[in-house]
Chain A
Amino acid sequence: MSEKERFSVVGKSLPKIDAWAKVTGQTRFADDMTLPRMAHGKLLRSPHAHARIVRIDTTRARSLPGVYAVITGRDLPPVKFGILPVSQDEEALCVEKVRMVGDAVAPVAAVDEETAERAAEMIEVEYEPLRALMSIEDSLAHPEVRIHEYGDGPNVHKAVSLQFGDVEAALAGAHLVREDVFFFEGNTHLPMEQHSAVAHWGPDDKLTLWSSTQTPHYVHRLLGKILDVPQAHIRVIAAPVGGGFGGKLDPFAHEIAACKLSQLTGRPVKITLTREEVFYVHRGRHPVLMWIRTGFARDGAITGMHFRSWLDGGAYGSYGVASTFYTGALQTVTYKIPAYKFEGARVFTNKPPCGPKRGHGTPQPRFAMECQIDKAAEQLGLDPADMRRRNLAEPFTKTANHLTVTTIGLGECIDRVVEASGWREKRASLPPGRGIGIACSSYLTGAGTAIYWNDMPHSGVVVRADRSGGVSVLCGATDIGQGSDSILAYLAAEVLGIEPKDIRVHAADTDLTPVDLGSYSSRVTLMAGQAVIQAAERLRARIFEAVARKLEAPASALVGRDRRVFVADDPERGVSFPDAVVLGESMHGVLAVPGSYAPPKRAGKYKGGGVGPSPCYSYTACVVEVTVDRETGEVRPTEVWIAHDVGRALNPLLVEGQVEGSVYMGLGEVLMEEQVFRKGVHKIPSLLEYKSPTTLETPEIHTILVETDDPEGPFGAKEAGQGPLLPIIPAVVNAIHDAVGVRLDEIPVSPDKVLKGLELARQGKPARVGPERLPLLTFPAPRAVESAFGQPAENIAERPFST
């Protein structure tokens, strides 16, 4: 039976189940919601990057007609929180001090937005400005000015040091050792939808929050703590999200303020952020300075790698400890690296906090690594594609840092883009000013560890069938535009033999749906997917048992397809699906079946080993062709070929969409996006000044999907939402070198940097533009762990809750 015949839904390019609502403008985002008597909220935010709050007087604001309530931090329980249990350093509303321009101080609820804004301006706040630390160097140079009282040193949030195997020996034995320094500027998610939340504290003293959030579960947990209310009395519903990319993964001041204001006023309260506020809320890509020392054998094999990263974390922890570990975790999953040492440090500064943005801490090191490999290839006289192709990690083995890799389709990905792009011919023949570059990468398909340690499922589903023949799928998974609601419908339909249209998906409602941890680390298709498959298979078993009795055939002889349940060898003997459900309901009673998924427990047994493991990894190779204008320094990518090992494309249309969107976002980051500050203030907090690609800057993208049918994934699927972003950045940078001979070790590659490189070349100096200095920070002594490189993978497709 061909693949096409084997599956009835999987592998088909179907429209999403919510496509119709989206193309008619009927999707109700959070700011589209209106409730009776609803008030509008605005937050007064700090104008200072670092200051003590001496006094707040809300009297004038409260007396403005149309104002329902004004609160400050003192109206909330004195509780600090943070998305990570190890860095709970945030207050919803600042009490003692503010640590960044834009820090939330005092919200107002009023009859409309305009009145709330006017009232916010009437709140009197007396600040005592403190020295603002605006860079890693600043923060390290002024230990007497503490942004936080905790950390691994003055203004050092976290410093880690891990060693797997004898890296020094590996480098000593190498044919070539390269030492390079790279810098990746911070950038932000820039979702088209500004954050928005509506809170309703009802007369029954129970709270409902609708919010544009990627993680209703974590928000639910933290609201209970922050508001000092039992979680059982709080309901969090994720409204459709108009773009997340990691920017809507923390609990936010505006969500908490809306809840409290609703409690005080007895009205629903909506707070929607302005675009400028979204820039300040941030939680985006960390600026990272990186130093890598790598040993290469003559054939380009990596003998060992020593990697150091310094992250500019901004004013709060957010996901930053995880980000720090991520800058050192995934280097080892693409090419064989027998010995590996990683040192990383995150430093607090008085800027909007950095957190998870698509790729979460891995695009920066991947850029550095892939550019260093390109430099090494040049020195060794090797073709950059061949050098990578020859030294790929082995499938179903462990890496030096104890990550288990399963299927690796990277070889095929490289072959396909090399062929499709005409790589070899173009390398030899493109004229000066035009260049071609290659890079590879990998990303995890779901973090193997939850944000808070527990032994419970990471994703849960209840599938319910009733005598109408309709099937409901309830799951906490949050659709942020990637199509997770549709995936739930497709997979349930595939297992049950019905149409996606027959499935009703109810998602992301903490009252109704079992917990799913949220849309981050590309976990949803795999984890919610496996949970829904399990639930649907259990439901199918109950239905088949009843149909088997009716048809007087063994259940094992039955198949469900085309909305019928019938004997496989005698299709005439069968019943319609609705009739099958009636039989099932008559035999078993109510048909509502759970499915649970938790990933295999594979974390390396060392501190920090919880960041990096995943059930499986996706792989991507891309080739980018660019044109560089030597007069202006402008870089124009003209064509992109990208091959992505997705395991299995459950819906090729959706996978392509993720690949194309990732390419687009990678291009934005490499060419033009930067979250930068001047005198404490964001330099460019608008959609015009903060550059992102329009249709005119986005080249033609050729997407090639590679399928490796991974045993860990639902029908073999791996992730697609983040991996394809990673290789774009180094591929463009490598292409620029091919075009004009300039090495840009700094992102974004703005025209002025290209021109600087060309000028250096003209002066006969090395045509390299990039960071020259490293911060003075002593990393802790490394925790030495034996290298697991080359050990066979264990516990494949073995995981909790699987029976």
Chain B
Amino acid sequence: MKARFTLSVNGEGREMVVAVHKTLLEVLREDLDLTGTKHGCELGECGTCTVLLDGEPALSCLVLPVECQGREVTTIEGMAVDGRLHPLQQAFAELGAAQCGYCIPGILLTARALLAENPTPTRDEVRHALAGNLCRCTGYTKILEAVELAALRMQAGDGAAAAVAPREARA
């Protein structure tokens, strides 16, 4: 059975007609062609499918579109604004925090939610915030370092400096 939904995804209203039992993850990937959000386990155990719902991390494989009506969905595609990378994305790229990259969208969004709530987290606080995101490549070390670097930069600069212009960034 299908139903019509309107979701606000990355600041854009998206209207769709989808089967009611499809998860938000499936809708994002299959109906909205937003394939940046990945699946890892189908059971909500790995954090790979993390998106933000009204700024809070949520496992999109356990969320139904009907629950998202009237709420803001943020995916990895919405993290850079007008081509300007979020400081977290910049730091992750600079410090080698992405190896295969598959877990990274979920981790970036979770980290973004952390820094929005706690702009100066300790390493332990970063660990705890990311404890629900599995990574098999990095051993987490450079991920933690990149979150700390991004936090420092966001504290140091104002909003404009914190978002990094594309051309200077990618030497």
Instruction: Say yes or no: A664-B139 contact (C-beta < 8 A), given A23-B89, A29-B102, A242-B101.
Output: yes
- Which residues B90-120 have CB closer than 8 A to chain A? 90, 92-96, 98-105, 108
In the assembled complex, the Cα of A629 lies from the Cα of B92 at a distance in Å of 36
Q: Cβ of B24 < 8 Å from any Cβ of A?
A: no
- The answer to whether residues A657 and B45 also contact, given A25-B37, A663-B139, A695-B127 and a CB cut-off of 8 A, is no
- Interface assignment of B140: CB less than 8 Å from any CB of chain A: yes
Q: How far is the CA of A622 from the CA of B2 in the complex (A)?
A: 57
Among A25, A240, A698, the residue within 8 A (CB) of B36 is A25
Taking a contact as CB atoms under 8 Å apart, the answer to whether B76 and A191 are in contact is: no
**Chain A contact patch, size range:** 35 or more
Task: Say yes or no: is B122 at the interface (Cβ < 8 Å to chain A).
Answer: no
Q: In the bound complex, what is the Cα–Cα distance between A687 and B59 (angstroms)?
A: 14
* B4: Cβ under 8 A from any A Cβ: no
Residues of A within 8 A of B143 (CB): 695
Kindly report which residue of chain B lies nearest to residue A668, judged by CB atoms: B136
B residues within 8 A CB of A161? none
From B65-73, B77-85, B151-159, the one touching the partner chain is B77-85
Q: When the two chains form their complex, are residues B76 and A695 in contact, meaning their CB atoms are under 8 A apart?
A: no
Residue A164 interfacial (CB < 8 Å):
no
Interchain CA distance A274-B41 in the complex, whole Å: 7
Q: B140–A194 contact, CB under 8 A?
A: no
Residues of B within 8 A of A193 (CB): 38, 40, 100, 102
Asked if residues A24 and B137 are in contact (CB atoms below 8 Å), the reply is no
Among candidates A191, A660, A692, A695, residue contacting B142 with C-beta atoms closer than 8 Å? A660
In the bound assembly, the distance between CA atoms of A688 and B46 in angstroms comes to 8
Take A243-B136, A665-B136, A688-B43 as given contacts and tell me if A192 and B102 are in contact as well, using a CB distance cutoff of 8 Å.
yes
Complex interface: chain B residues within 8 A of A274 (CB): 42
Q: Which of B35, B40, B43, B171 contacts A192 (CB 8 A)?
A: B40
B85 and A23 form a contact (CB under 8 A):
yes
Query: B96, A15: Cβ atoms under 8 Å?
Result: yes
Is the pair A23, B108 in contact by a Cβ cutoff of 8 Å?
A: yes
Q: Is the CB of A22 within 8 A of B98?
A: yes
Complex contact B103–A657 (CB within 8 A) = no
Chain B residues with Cβ below 8 Å from A243 are 100, 102, 136-137
Q: Helix, strand, loop or mixed for chain B's interface?
A: loop
Stretch of A50-58, A404-412, A480-488, A529-537 contacting B (4+ beta carbons < 8 Å): A480-488
| B96 x A16 contact (CB < 8 A) | yes
Q: Is the pair B102, A24 in contact by a Cβ cutoff of 8 Å? A: no
Indicate if the CB atoms of B76 and A694 lie closer than 8 Å. Answer: no
Contact B139 A482 (CB under 8 A): no
In the assembled complex, B121 has its CB within 8 A of some CB on chain A: no
- Are A23 and B41 in contact, with the CB atoms below 8 A? no
Shortest beta-carbon distance from B1 to chain A in Å: 13
Q: Give residues of chain A (1-29) contacting chain B, Cβ–Cβ below 8 Å.
A: 13, 15-16, 18-29
Closest residue of chain A to B91 (Cβ to Cβ) is A23
A26 and B139: CB pair below 8 A? Answer: no
Interface presence of B131 (CB below 8 A): yes
Kindly identify which residue among B33, B43, B76 contacts A686, using a CB–CB cutoff of 8 Å.
B43
- Are B46 and A192 closer than 8 Å at their CB atoms? yes
* Closest chain B residue, CB of each to CB of A34: B33
Is A501 in the interface zone, CB < 8 Å from B?
yes
- Looking at the assembled complex, report how far the CB atom of B84 sits from the nearest CB atom of chain A, in whole angstroms: 11
Is B130 interfacial (CB-CB < 8 Å)? yes
- How long is the Cα–Cα vector from A362 to B99 in the complex, in angstroms? 24
B41 partner residues in chain A, CB cutoff 8 A: 275, 686-688
* Cα–Cα distance between A191 and B137 once the two chains are bound (Å): 8
Chain A nearest CB, measured from B171 CB (Å)? 7
Which B-chain residue is minimally distant from A657 (CB atoms)?
A: B96
Taking CB as reference atom, which chain B residue is nearest A26?
Answer: B36
Please pick, from B36, B45, B137, the residue contacting A481 in the complex, using a CB distance under 8 A.
B137
Contacts of A686 in B (CB 8 A): 41, 43, 45
Distance between Cα atoms of A244 and B143 in the complex (Å)? 20
Which of A25, A275, A656, A660 gathers the greatest number of chain B CB atoms within 10 Å?
A25
A23 touching B98, Cβ below 8 Å: yes
Q: How far is the CA of A417 from the CA of B93 in the complex (A)?
A: 29
The residue of chain A having its C-beta at the shortest distance from the C-beta of B75 within the complex is A25
- On chain A, the residues within 8 Å of B35 by CB distance are 25, 28-29, 31-32
Q: Report how far A657 CA is from B95 CA in the complex, Å.
A: 9
Q: Tell me if A190 counts as interface (CB < 8 A to partner B).
A: yes
Q: Contacts of B60 on A, CB cut-off 8 Å?
A: none
* Bound form: Cα–Cα A660–B75 in Å: 28
Q: How far is the CB of A110 from chain B (nearest CB, A)?
A: 15
Contact of A604 with B by CB under 8 A: no
Q: Across the interface, which residues of B come within 8 angstroms of A244, CB to CB?
A: 100
Evaluate whether A664 and B93 lie within 8 angstroms (CB atoms) in the complex, with A193-B102, A275-B43, A694-B134 already known.
no
Task: Give the residue of A13, A482, A663 whose beta carbon is less than 8 angstroms from that of B99.
Answer: A482
Lowest 10 CB-CB distances: which A-B pairs, in order?
A25-B36, A481-B100, A664-B139, A22-B101, A242-B102, A25-B76, A660-B139, A32-B35, A19-B93, A481-B99
- Listed by A's residue number, 6 A-B pairs whose Cβ atoms lie within 8 Å are A22-B98, A23-B101, A653-B95, A653-B142, A695-B127, A695-B130
Knowing that A240-B100, A657-B96 are A-B contacts, what are 9 other residue pairs whose CB atoms are under 8 Å apart, sorted by A's residue number?
A: A15-B96, A22-B93, A24-B79, A192-B102, A192-B137, A275-B41, A482-B99, A501-B171, A695-B127
